[in-house]
Amino acid sequence: MSGNLVCVGIGMTLGAHICPIAKSYIQEADVVFSGVSNGIVELWIKEMHNDVRSLQQYYSEGKPRTITYKEMVDAMLSEVRAGKKVVGAFYGHPGVFAHAPHKSIELAKAEGFEAKMIPGISAEDCLFADLGIDPGKYGCAQYEASQLMFYQRTIDTCAYLILWQVGIAGDQSLGKFSTTKAYRQVLIDLLAKDYPMEHQVILYEAAVLPIENTRIEKISLADFLNAELSQHTTMVIPPAKKMQSNDAILKRLAELDSTITE
């Protein structure tokens, strides 16, 4: 089969994060589908190829994202089945908080087509750099905010907690572009079981354009109710407690160490 699919990441900041191989795939494709949230970024991609088709057209308020994602997948796969070299160019990393790239590659492979993913710099990568966080220092747990609300999860307050898409927290319809303060209060009440209301959290938004400023806003958990949010706002909750040593395990390890050195 001659058709193939490559989903590439173009990074977060316009022009600054794209890697050479991702750019090469875009330039050499027969058709490029762009999954970006900024019109200027889309225009930049169009400078690299004369047939760039926006996937943003499938989004609309109130329309379930499950339908939107299926339409995106269908659009890309129809060109692959037609024997074309297809590229899906997605902002950030194409495998992070992105259903359509994963599903498209899965289906393309199942149908016998060559398909793969090229990583990109994600919002997570920018977050660690901008906030000066080393996830290996205290540990780090990450959840989509609604997922944390919908399921019973255990929060480790000795580690960083990163909640993505807090601006649509609690949306069960998968069709909203934002949720109200009432939904936000439910998230606050959930977090208040593990964190004091005065605990400082960070609202973060990576810069998409070079002229934009990165959003790093420190507020209390209580102030989150009235904070200004977008679909791209991330909440970062620093550790609230110190890590406690596991003395029983440390003792066993010390005994092993002494045995080895004897």
**Catalytic hit among 58, 91, 183, 195:** 91
User: For residue 1, which of 83, 79, 60 has the smallest C-alpha distance?
Assistant: 83
Nearest-angstrom CA–CA distance, 177 and 61: 6
Tell me the β-bridge partners of 99.
Answer: none
Nearest-angstrom CA–CA distance, 56 and 138: 38
Indicate if 143 belongs to the active site. no
Which contiguous run of DSSP H or E holds residue 31? strand 31-35
Indicate if 183 belongs to the active site. no
Nearest-angstrom CA–CA distance, 166 and 143: 10
**Catalytic hit among 25, 58, 69, 204:** 69
**Catalytic hit among 58, 65, 183, 195:** 65
Indicate if 195 belongs to the active site. no
The whole-angstrom distance between residue 82's C-alpha and the CA centroid of its chain comes to 31
Residues noted as catalytic: 65, 69, 91
